[in-house]
Structure 1
Amino acid sequence: MNKIIKLSLILLIAFAFTACKKEEVKPDTDTTDTTDQTEVVDTRPMDDGPICCNPEDLDNPDSLLSKRVIYFDFDQSTIRAEFRDIIALHGRYLSENPSARMTLEGHADERGSREYNLALGERRGNSVANLLGAEGASSSQINVVSYGEERPVATCSDESCWSQNRRAVIVYTAK
């Protein structure tokens, strides 16, 4: 009986090793010549006109610059992907218009203590400011202020209202 158990164990181990054998990777046999496939890129500088946008675009409802509210997930200060292009465009606008100034107002919903929500609103404003800076905006153009839960846009106590209050608002103080 002992020999049967040992033999079964050996067969089980052998089976496990063969079952886990890696498949050999076959080399690419495509012999297409790619030496003549060079892409030409135009590296001439663009004209000195504005690359991004004009101050008039700030009030144009068809422009991304007219979008000035950035929403956040619950208890988060991470910029959602859907708002990155909007913030990037505002950053480029600031970099091309050095006299422009903005205030970033950070907000939170009613859940949490007053102190916690003030800190969360500040983190949200700073997250937007950091992304603006990555696009060339100067820190001297941006002022961050937190209102925490003190200035809600929706006052009911459910997720639909709370999601509207978790935001950072871009307010231009000089265009």
Structure 2
Amino acid sequence: MKKLTKLAIVLIFALAMSACKKDVKPPVETDNNNTDTDTTVVETTPVPTDGMICCNPADLENPDSLLSQRKVYFDYDQSTIRSEYRKMLSLHARYLQQNPSARMTIEGHADERGSREYNLALGEKRGYAIANLLRAQGAAVGQVAVVSYGEERPEEMCSNDSCWSKNRRGVIIYTAK
């Protein structure tokens, strides 16, 4: 009886292990009468949609290229990247992916409101938000560094909403192209 129990346990274990094998997709059936195919393509790397071939180091200095844009502005007390900057960041990620020797530092900044410590932490969160998006789109971990300046390096020196909105930013600086 003990041998039968052990055999049953081994068989159950083997059955369970074989059930854990990776999924095999069934073959796609094609209908020769239907020319409309329903396939889904998932791309893991961003593709430039503005017609330019990505990514030439000269584009970093070309004012007509999105790669020449290096600032991401944030809403008050936020580190969420707005949709208007995603295409630009996607091209920067593609550039890093195609140029493995390229390196960048992302500076995180905040406006003057809040304590020094809070603004340093917020600047760091903004920098990492940009860095994480770049990494998710193909940049290598070693290519992107983050530093926070908080409120210490304002772009504008006045104290009103228009100045504060320019000081809430992340800045991309290429250290090696």
State TM-score, norm by structure 2: 0.72
Q: Distance in 2 between matches of 1:40 and 1:163?
A: 45
Alignment pair present for 1:62 and 2:64: yes
1:119: how far off? 0.2
- Give 1:48's aligned residue: none
1:127 corresponds to:
129
Give the drift of 1:39.
4.5
Tell me how far apart the structure 1 counterparts of residues 103 and 57 of structure 2 sit (CA, whole Å).
12
Residue type at the aligned position of 1:58: L
* Aligned match of 1:37: 35
Alignment of 1:46-85 (within 5 A): 52-85=54-87
Q: Distance in 2 between matches of 1:38 and 1:106?
A: 48
**How many residue pairs end up in the alignment?**
134
Distance 1:105 1:88 in 2: 18
Aligned to 2:151: 149
Equivalent position amino acid for 1:54 in 2: N
SS at match of 2:173: strand
Percent identity (aligned): 68
Offset, 1:88? 0.8
- Shift of residue 128, structure 1, vs aligned partner: 0.2
Q: After superposition, what is the alpha-carbon deviation per residue over 1:33-91, rounded to whole angstroms, capped at 9, x for unaligned?
A: xx5232499x9xxxxxxx62110000000000000000000000000000011111100
Unaligned runs of 5+ in 2: 1-32, 42-52
SS at match of 1:126: helix
Secondary structure at the counterpart of residue 105 of structure 1? strand
In structure 1, stretches of 5+ residues that fail to align are 1-34, 44-50
- Given the two structures, how large is their TM-score scaled by the length of structure 1? 0.73
CA distance, structure 1, for counterparts of residue 35 and residue 117 of structure 2: 60
Corresponding residue number in structure 2 for 1:86 = 88
Aligned alpha-carbon RMSD (Å): 1.9
